[in-house]
Amino acid sequence: MQLFLQQFPIVVRSLNAGFVQTLKLFFVTLIGAMPLGLVISFGSMSRFKPLSVFTRVIVWIVRGSPLMIQLLIIFYFPGMVLGNPIWGGKEAGRFAAASVAFIINYACYFSEIYRGGIQSVPVGQDEAGMVLGMTKAQIFFRVKLLQVVKRIMPPMSNEIITLVKDTSLARIISLQEIIWAGQAFMKSSQGISGAIWPLFFTGVYYLAASGLLTLLFGWIERKLNFFRV
């Protein structure tokens, strides 16, 4: 017990540092993937056939293969095949590579959710906007967007909570996120060795994060309850 009390502050400091990295990856992914997903969804809905086919193939490949492999390819491919290790060997480079992989992966998932949401808005909404002389952009932003947001809230919440946990995959390219930090104590780190509880303890962080997100999404969904679609 005494040993645990000695270890606890050291472990928590280390896990906190890892969790900061986890959160950074989480937010960077969201900020990049949410708008990129919209661009991809427009690509996949394009009436210009080559573009929509191309986009859908990309989305299929990204959604159909493990994120872990995508991480490895994006991190190692430039160095191995192009002979140009663009990411460098430092933590910042690994973070950049992880961000790129996560943003592309999640943008593809988001794009499918957006597409479903956009296509589920009745065509009558477009037509009502058109006969009232609105432009395409006005119809999208002023008429359809909020209806789409309301419709996609449940699947988006799921996906975003999954993202919190998926960030742990980045340790495959040695990004020093929270699992990586916890695992270090199994071998030896800062005078603590052979301790497995720090790894278990990371679960508390994930639970806290997904709990907060669940509350946040519940609040947003209630905020959107003022109308029905």
Sequence-ordered list of residues with C-beta below 8 angstroms from that of 194, at least 6 positions apart, any chain: 186, 187, 188
Q: Considering beta carbons, is residue 30 or 134 the nearer one to another protein?
A: 134
Shortest spacing between CB 221 and another protein, in angstroms: 14
| 133 secondary structure, DSSP code | T
Q: Considering beta carbons, is residue 72 or 149 the nearer one to another protein?
A: 149
- The token duo for 183 is 């695992």
Shortest spacing between CB 109 and another protein, in angstroms: 26
Shortest spacing between CB 35 and another protein, in angstroms: 22
Residues that bind another protein (CB under 8 A): 122, 124-125, 127-135, 138, 142-143, 146-147, 150, 226-229
- CA 225 from chain centre, in angstroms, equals 26
Q: Considering beta carbons, is residue 89 or 226 the nearer one to another protein?
A: 226
d(CA 166, CA 171) in angstroms, rounded, equals 10
Q: Considering beta carbons, is residue 27 or 141 the nearer one to another protein?
A: 141
One-letter identity of residue 129: G
d(CA 56, CA 209) in angstroms, rounded, equals 32
- The token duo for 93 is 């480079």
Q: Considering beta carbons, is residue 138 or 158 the nearer one to another protein?
A: 138
- The token duo for 36 is 């990129």
Shortest spacing between CB 47 and another protein, in angstroms: 13
Shortest spacing between CB 220 and another protein, in angstroms: 14
Look-up of token digits 């199994």: 186
C-alpha dist (Å) from residue 140 to 41, 121, 127, 137: 14, 11, 12, 5
State phi, psi for 174 to the nearest 5 degrees. Answer: 65, 30
Shortest spacing between CB 138 and another protein, in angstroms: 5
Q: What are the strands, taking DSSP E only, across 39-167? A: none
Q: Considering beta carbons, is residue 81 or 123 the nearer one to another protein?
A: 123
